[in-house]
Every structure is written in C-alpha cells, then in structure tokens.
A and B are shown apart, each in its own frame.
Chain A
Amino acid sequence: DARVTQTPRHKVTEMGQEVTMRCQPILGHNTVFWYRQTMMQGLELLAYFRNRAPLDDSGMPKDRFSAEMPDATLATLKIQPSEPRDSAVYFCASGNLQWGAGGYTFGSGTRLTVV
C-alpha cells in the first residue's frame, strides 16, 4: 500500500535549536497538509498546500514556523527557534481533492520534544 513517510519519527531538542521535519507524500497526490496534535489543543491545522502552492498557513506561528514544498516528493516544516510549547506530534497528510472519493492518508507523525 502507498503511504506517507515522515522523518524523523522522534526528535528531542533543546530550546532555541532549529527543527526540520520532512514528509514524502504519496505519488500523484496534489494536496498536502501539516497538522499538530497536543492533548490540550487537539488537532491544529498548520499549513495546507495544493499542487505545491501554499494556500493556507493561518494556523502557523509565522515568526518561528515555515512550511515549504520544494518539489512534489517533499514537504518540510521548520521551527526556528524551537520552544518547549512546540512539543507535540506533527502529522503530514496527502490526498487528491480531484479524485473526490478518497480521503487523506496520514504519515506516522513526528513526536517532537523541546526541553
């Protein structure tokens, strides 16, 4: 089965360090988004791409977060500088809006701990 690959699976970093998370969407999917999940806030949309163009990043703290899709096989989410409150599980998902019948496939997530 095709799957969305996220790396790393786990990351522990010190406050102030840069963190980069990567996502390889399923080939042929034209929509990719990043979500953050915490116990307190639940699921929060961070960024939404279609055909590699960023369409919405209103949920993302712009001063420290950035999301890009340098090509169709890679999406990145960067945090610089990281803070303890960024500790969460970050999910990437991909799908194809035009196909209609299918939903989104999620990666296994990156569990980030900022100490």
Chain B
Amino acid sequence: QQPVQSPQAVILREGEDAVINCSSSKALYSVHWYRQKHGEAPVFLMILLKGGEQKGHDKISASFNEKKQQSSLYLTASQLSYSGTYFCGTEPGNQFYFGTGTSLTVIP
C-alpha cells in the first residue's frame, strides 16, 4: 500500500531544479506532499485530489496523472531552505500512508 518514491536521494546546487516522483500500483484516492527537516515534524505542502490536477505555490508545484497512480513534485530554482526529506502520502479510506521518502540536499 505504501507509495514508492524516486529518487531516494538527490543533491542539488542552489538554483537547480528537481523532480520527485511518487508511484503506486493502484489508483490513489489523493496525494499529499510533505517536507520534513532534520529533527522536525513533517510539514504539509499541498494535496491533489483529481486526476490531471496540477497545483503549486511559489517555486514548488505538483501534478497528479490522469490515472491517479503517479504524482510528481517539482522544485524550481532550489534554495538552501528546500533541503529536507520529502514524503508523498495517500489516504485510502481508514489509513494514511507515507511514501518511501526522498532526501533532498541543496548545497551552495
């Protein structure tokens, strides 16, 4: 049931772009995206509910494909503050599952 994320880890220089993918073998009811900085709690970024939906704010956006089996998070012109572990999440009824996580490190 746990969505699989790729890549597992990525290192970027400031200003570079990144894409994080979240995939499931079954259609997802919804997709949440969270960022967790070291030693802190996960923080909600955005939720996508509909197939084909795209959403974003500032330089972070996400898409949900038509079949609702894959979502991608796009980070544009990365900043040092973007460093952390990114998790997608899905809520199939009576549970909430996080994806496997992607560690993102932005270096100067």
**Chain A interface residues (CB < 8 Å from chain B):** 33, 35, 42-43, 45, 48, 50, 55-56, 58, 91, 93, 97, 100-109
Contact = CB atoms under 8 A, between A and B. Distances in A.
Interface stretch (B17-25, B66-74, B75-83, B89-97): B89-97
Contacts, number: 50
Contact of B46 (A103, A107, A109): A103
Interface of B: 32, 34, 40-47, 49, 87, 89, 91, 94-98, 100-101
Contacts of A50: 94
B42 A91 contact: yes
B96 A106 contact: no
Nearest to B101: A42
Contacts of A109: 41
A89 to B, nearest CB: 9
12 contacts: A45-B95, A48-B95, A48-B96, A55-B95, A97-B91, A103-B45, A103-B47, A103-B89, A104-B32, A108-B40, A108-B41, A109-B41
B41 A48 contact: no
A55 B44 contact: no
A103 B94 contact: no
A6 B87 CA distance: 22
A45 B94 contact: no
Contacts of A93: 42, 96
